[in-house]
A = this chain, B = another copy of it.
Amino acid sequence: MKIIRSSTPAADGFRMPGEFEPHAGCIMIFPERADSWQYGGYAARRAFAQTAEAIAGSEKVTVCASEKQYDNARAMLPSHIRVVEMASDDAWSRDYGPTFVKNQKGEVRGIDWGFNAWGGLHDGLYFPWDKDNRMARKLCDLLDKDVYNKRDFILEGGSIHVDGEGTCMVTESCLLSGGRNPGLTRQEIEDNLQQYLNVSTVLWLPRGIYNDETNEHVDNICAFTAPGEVVLAWTEDREDAQYPLSKACLDYLEQAVDAAGRRIRVHKLPLPRPVTVTEEECRGLDACFDRPARTPGERLAASYVNFYIANGSVVMPGFGDPADEEARSILQGLFPDRQVIQIYARDILIGGGNIHCITQQIPASGGEA
């Protein structure tokens, strides 16, 4: 693994593929952190394992586990899923796994962004985060991929989506947050995205999902289903705290133009009814320093948009909500060639994210058609 310090993906002809392009595999992390995963994480492990198995139906899955959890991960995952030992502070491979880029010859490289637990000492979610921040390079080393060093720029994989054809989508609330790159202007941030993802257009959605503690990552509110097409988390309830956030995104998207000069086609994906954390769940969580990790009644950032597009399936969350089936059906219509698999994901959501957050695709190597 070479660490590339003096060049950028754009300069070298590498671009981040869309998630719907072919994968070599998927990276996940076994959940362990006691202030994220209630009651020892056993329910979360099951949800992670179901997610891994669903994805492994059509691509190779590698699950990273700490030395302490290795045997547990190995014991509960089927043998066709690879388990490797790797330390982390939590289980969000989307956010601190490498972002992979690919050139026309099909060579794949990683990007090692800086990670500071979603806001560092400003409004980050835990401390320290050094193990997480080391993962991107370790994973590139494991996979024998060269890696671009961009640790001077704080970015999580869940805060970006690309269409693979020159367009990136982010939220202002996250990328302009005070805890990430306060020394950079919006233009400088956009320049970094352009140089590292190799895009020409950045779509800046104003907001994300209400009470999303990532400062409203884009991957929880809006995702490309194909170039020029997105799904947007939506509620018709104008009294709901989410309504103005989704509406602001819709208004933005309706006037937006992508890198190919296309108008964006927006498919509304319903939100489940508000999901709140229970007193019983809170009692199963360690404190995060001197504060409770969650408080009873706290609204969680539940959204069906937080799905993963695998080679042969789309793996999406369910919440035991009446809208589960409608959301599934909409996604199935948008991905006619993939089987949509719904995983009961409350036990992932309590940790602060969902299926897209706990996965990271590795693009397939080999030349493109």
Q: Which residues of A contact B (CB under 8 A)?
A: 1-3, 67, 70-71, 74, 79, 82-87, 131, 134, 137-138, 141-142, 144
Q: Report yes or no: B84 in contact with A141, Cβ–Cβ below 8 A.
A: yes
Which of B85, B134, B142 contacts A138 (CB under 8 A)? B85
A142 neighbours in B (Cβ, 8 Å): 82, 84, 142
Which of B2, B70, B82 contacts A79 (CB under 8 A)? B2
Q: Report yes or no: A3 in contact with B70, Cβ–Cβ below 8 A.
A: no
Which of B1, B3, B82, B84 contacts A82 (CB under 8 A)? B1
A137 neighbours in B (Cβ, 8 Å): 74
Known: A74-B137, A74-B141, A85-B138. 12 other contacts (CB 8 A): A67-B87, A70-B138, A71-B134, A82-B141, A82-B142, A83-B141, A84-B84, A84-B141, A84-B142, A85-B85, A85-B86, A85-B87
A84 neighbours in B (Cβ, 8 Å): 84-85, 138, 141-142
In the assembled complex, the Cα of A141 lies from the Cα of B71 at a distance in Å of 12
Q: Report yes or no: A79 in contact with B138, Cβ–Cβ below 8 A.
A: no
Chain B proximity of A148: nearest CB distance (Å): 14
Residue of B nearest to A87 (CB): B67
Tell me the number of copies of this protein. 2
Main secondary structure on A side of the interface with B: mixed
Known contacts A85-B87, A87-B85, A138-B70; decide if A1 and B79 are in contact (CB<8 Å).
yes
Q: Report yes or no: B3 in contact with A79, Cβ–Cβ below 8 A.
A: yes
Residue of B nearest to A66 (CB): B67
10 inter-chain pairs at a CB distance below 8 angstroms, sorted by A residue, are A1-B79, A3-B79, A70-B138, A71-B134, A74-B137, A82-B141, A83-B141, A84-B138, A85-B85, A85-B87
In the assembled complex, the Cα of A87 lies from the Cα of B67 at a distance in Å of 7
In the complex, which of the residues A2, A87, A141 has the most CB atoms of chain B within 10 Å of its own CB atom? A141
Residue of B nearest to A144 (CB): B82
In the assembled complex, the Cα of A208 lies from the Cα of B20 at a distance in Å of 60
In the assembled complex, the Cα of A86 lies from the Cα of B67 at a distance in Å of 8
In the assembled complex, the Cα of A134 lies from the Cα of B142 at a distance in Å of 19
Residue of B nearest to A131 (CB): B67
In the assembled complex, the Cα of A84 lies from the Cα of B141 at a distance in Å of 7
In the assembled complex, the Cα of A345 lies from the Cα of B21 at a distance in Å of 50
Q: For the complex of A and B, list the 9 residue pairs with the smallest distance between their C-beta atoms, beginning with the closest.
A: A67-B87, A2-B79, A85-B86, A83-B141, A84-B142, A85-B85, A1-B79, A82-B141, A85-B138
Which of B70, B86, B87, B144 contacts A134 (CB under 8 A)? B70
A71 neighbours in B (Cβ, 8 Å): 134
A83 neighbours in B (Cβ, 8 Å): 141
In the assembled complex, the Cα of A67 lies from the Cα of B86 at a distance in Å of 8
Residue of B nearest to A83 (CB): B141
Residue of B nearest to A71 (CB): B134
A85 neighbours in B (Cβ, 8 Å): 84-87, 138
In the assembled complex, the Cα of A333 lies from the Cα of B313 at a distance in Å of 58
Chain B proximity of A63: nearest CB distance (Å): 10
A144 neighbours in B (Cβ, 8 Å): 82
Residue of B nearest to A68 (CB): B87
